[in-house]
C-alpha cells in the first residue's frame, strides 16, 4: 500500500503551482470587495424584485382576488398595501368591509379596465409601458389608489409630450382631467399650448370635446394667439356645430334648439367684434349663425361699427358699463400681416457669436377704421447668441469715464420706435417657434405692454429664450429651432395698439 499521509499538499493559486493559470472566482453579482475591516456591502435587490415579480407572474401564495371589468386578478395584500395608501386603508382598516373579504370588486371606467393588468403588474415590478393613449387611464388609477411614484412618472411624461398628445387627439382630455385633479404642471402646459396654438388645436378631432366653461376661459384671454378675430369666430362656430349635433342626440328638437340658442349666445359673447375689420364684419352677415340669431349678432356688430366710425353711441357705452366690457376693445395676439412680421434666421448653428439680425416693419396706430391711415414704424434687433458690449467712453460731469468691454450671455430682443415725437401705447408679443415630433408650433410667448415716447423709444427684452436651450453647443440641436433640418430660428413679432376711452 502506498502511504499518502506525507505527500506534499497542492496549494491552489500558488505561483509555483501547475494550476496557477486558473482564474480566481469572480465576485458574485451584488457583492462589492471587502474594505480593510472585511466589511462588505451586498446589494441583491434586483434578485429580490425578480422574486416578488414572480409571485405576480406565477400567481403564487395570493391571498386576495381583485375583480375588474369581469376579470379576476390574483394579488397579495402585502404588495397592495405597500404600494397604495388607499389599498392599505381598504384592506387593513376593520371599519371597511373589504378588510374581511378575499374577493373585492373594483368599479373602474372602461379605459381604466383595459390598463388595470399593467397597473397591477407595476405594483409588483415597477415597470410599465406608457404612450399617449395609456397614460391618462394609468394616471387616473394612480390618482385613485394614491400610487405616488406612478403619478409622478405619468405627470412627467405628460408634461414632455403635450405636442404629441395634440397629434393623437389627446390634448383636450389631458387638459380637462388635470384641471379637475390638480396636476398644475400638466394643465399649464396643455393650456399654454392651446392659448399659443389655438387654430392648430381647433383643427383636431377632440376640439369639440372642450367643455363650455373651458372654451370660454380661452376666449377671455388677450394673450390668445390667432390669425385674426374672424378666424377665432370661425373656430367657435365649428365648436358650436359639434355641440348642436350632440344636443340633437340628447334632447328632442325643440329642447335641443333652446339649449343651442343659449349656448351660442353664451360663447359668442366673448368674441371681440370691434377687433374685426369692417370687411370681416360684413362677411358675418351671410353666416348661418347670424341669420339664426339676428338680434344678438346685429347688436354686437353695431357696437363694432360704432367703434370703427368713431361714433361712441349709447350701445357703445352700455358695453363699457359691464365689468369686463373693456375686453371687447382689447386686441389679442393677431398673426395677420396687418399686425405682425416674421424674423427668420436660417442655418442658425452657423450664425457667428454676438451677431445681430434686424427687421423693420409698420403697424397701424389704431384698430378703428377711421384712424387706420396712421402707422407706427418699428425696428427689431435680435441678438440670439449673446451681446458684446465694446469698450467705450462715457462723458460725465466729472470728466470722461472708460467703460470696459463686457459680454452678456443672453438672448436679447430690442424693439425701437422710429416715431420720435409721438407716444405709442402698445401691446408687444414675441411668438417663438418650436418643433417636436415633426410638428411646428409656437413654443413660447413673451408679452409686454409698453408706452413708447420721446424719452423711452427702446424696449429691451433679455432672456427671450433660455440661452443654453437655444445654443446647445454640445449637440447643436434646440427645441426652439424649426424647419426640415431643425436649423431655423423663427420669431413672430406682434404689435397691437392698446385702446383707452
The residue ranges of every structural domain in the chain are: 47-160, 211-335, 337-497
Same fold, 47-160 and 337-497: no
So what's the pLDDT on residue 475? 66
Q: What is the mean pLDDT of the chain?
A: 87
Between CA 498 and CA 501 the distance in angstroms is 10
Looking at domain 47-160, its CATH class is alpha beta
Fold of the domain built from segment(s) 337-497: 2.60.210
Those residues of the chain that have pLDDT short of 50 are 1-20, 22, 27-29
Residue among 493, 470, 488 nearest 353 (CA): 470
So what's the pLDDT on residue 232? 98
H/E segment holding residue 425:
strand 424-436
Cα-based distances in Å from 95 to 100, 332, 442, 486: 10, 56, 53, 60
The pTM assigned to this predicted structure is 0.85
Chain segment 229-265, per-residue pLDDT in tens: 999 999 999 999 999 999 999 999 999 999 999 999 9
So what's the pLDDT on residue 42? 62
Query: Taking the chain, what is the end-to-end CA distance rounded to the nearest angstrom?
Result: 125
Residue 344 grid cell:
427668420
DSSP 12-38: TT-TT-TTTTSPPPPPPTTB----TT-
If you ran DSSP here, which 8-state letter would residue 422 be given? S
Q: Is 447 helix (H, G, I), strand (E, B) or coil?
A: strand
Cβ of 367: how many Cβ atoms within 10 Å? 26
| Burial bucket for residue 111 (CB in 10 Å: 0-12, 13-18, 19+) | middle
So what's the pLDDT on residue 34? 63
Residue spans of alpha helices (H) in 203-350: 212-219, 229-250, 253-268, 278-283, 288-292, 294-309, 314-321
Chain segment 172-202, per-residue pLDDT in tens: 999 999 998 989 999 999 999 999 999 999 9
So what's the pLDDT on residue 477? 81
The half-sphere exposure of 95 on its side-chain side, counting CA atoms within 13 A, is 2
Amino acid at each position: 500500500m502506498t502511504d499518502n499521509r506525507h505527500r506534499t499538499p497542492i496549494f491552489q493559486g500558488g505561483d509555483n503551482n501547475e494550476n496557477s493559470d486558473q482564474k480566481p472566482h469572480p465576485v458574485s453579482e451584488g457583492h462589492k470587495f471587502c474594505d480593510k475591516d472585511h466589511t462588505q456591502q451586498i446589494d441583491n435587490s434586483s434578485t429580490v424584485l425578480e422574486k416578488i415579480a414572480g409571485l405576480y407572474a406565477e400567481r403564487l401564495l395570493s391571498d386576495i382576488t381583485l375583480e375588474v371589468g369581469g376579470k379576476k386578478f390574483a394579488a397579495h395584500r402585502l404588495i397592495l398595501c405597500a404600494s397604495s395608501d388607499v389599498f392599505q386603508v381598504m384592506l387593513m382598516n376593520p371599519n371597511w368591509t373589504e378588510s374581511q373579504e378575499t374577493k373585492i370588486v373594483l368599479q373602474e371606467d372602461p379605459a381604466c379596465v383595459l390598463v388595470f393588468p399593467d397597473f397591477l403588474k407595476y405594483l409588483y415590478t415597477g415597470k410599465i409601458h406608457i404612450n399617449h393613449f395609456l397614460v391618462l387611464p394609468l394616471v387616473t388609477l394612480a390618482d385613485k389608489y394614491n400610487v405616488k411614484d406612478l403619478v409622478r412618472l405619468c405627470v412627467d411624461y405628460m408634461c414632455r409630450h403635450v405636442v404629441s398628445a395634440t397629434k393623437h387627439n389627446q390634448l383636450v382630455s389631458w387638459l380637462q382631467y388635470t384641471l379637475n385633479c390638480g396636476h398644475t404642471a400638466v394643465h399649464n402646459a396643455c393650456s399654454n399650448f392651446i392659448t399659443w396654438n389655438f387654430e392648430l388645436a381647433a383643427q383636431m378631432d377632440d376640439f369639440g370635446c372642450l367643455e363650455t366653461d373651458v372654451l370660454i376661459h380661452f376666449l377671455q384671454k388677450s394673450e390668445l394667439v390667432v390669425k385674426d378675430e374672424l378666424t377665432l369666430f370661425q373656430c367657435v362656430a365649428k365648436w358650436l356645430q359639434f355641440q348642436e349635433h350632440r344636443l340633437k342626440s340628447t334632447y328632442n328638437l325643440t329642447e335641443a334648439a333652446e339649449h343651442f340658442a343659449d349656448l351660442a349666445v353664451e360663447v359668442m359673447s366673448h368674441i371681440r367684434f370691434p377687433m374685426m375689420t369692417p370687411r370681416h364684419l360684413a362677411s358675418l352677415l351671410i353666416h348661418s349663425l347670424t341669420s339664426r340669431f339676428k338680434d344678438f349678432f346685429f347688436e354686437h356688430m353695431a357696437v363694432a361699427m360704432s367703434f370703427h366710425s368713431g361714433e361712441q353711441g349709447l350701445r357703445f357705452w352700455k358695453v363699457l358699463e359691464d365689468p369686463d366690457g373693456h375686453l371687447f376693445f382689447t386686441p389679442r395676439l393677431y398673426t395677420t400681416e396687418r399686425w405682425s412680421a416674421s424674423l427668420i434666421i436660417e442655418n442658425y448653428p452657423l450664425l457667428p457669436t454676438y451677431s445681430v439680425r434686424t427687421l423693420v416693419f409698420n403697424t397701424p396706430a389704431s384698430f378703428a377704421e377711421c384712424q387706420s391711415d396712421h402707422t407706427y414704424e418699428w425696428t427689431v434687433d435680435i441678438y440670439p447668441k449673446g451681446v458684446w458690449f465694446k469698450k467705450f467712453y462715457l462723458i460725465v460731469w466729472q470728466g470722461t469715464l472708460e467703460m470696459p468691454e463686457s459680454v452678456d450671455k443672453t438672448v436679447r430682443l430690442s424693439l425701437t420706435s422710429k416715431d420720435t415725437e409721438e407716444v405709442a401705447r402698445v401691446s408687444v408679443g414675441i411668438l417663438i417657434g418650436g418643433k417636436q415630433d415633426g410638428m411646428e408650433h409656437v413654443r413660447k410667448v413673451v408679452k409686454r405692454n409698453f408706452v413708447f415716447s420721446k424719452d423711452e423709444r427702446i424696449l429691451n427684452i433679455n432672456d427671450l429664450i433660455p440661452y443654453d436651450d437655444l445654443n446647445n453647443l454640445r449637440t447643436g440641436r434646440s427645441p426652439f429651432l424649426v424647419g426640415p433640418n431643425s436649423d431655423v430660428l423663427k420669431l413672430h413679432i406682434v404689435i397691437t395698439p392698446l385702446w383707452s376711452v
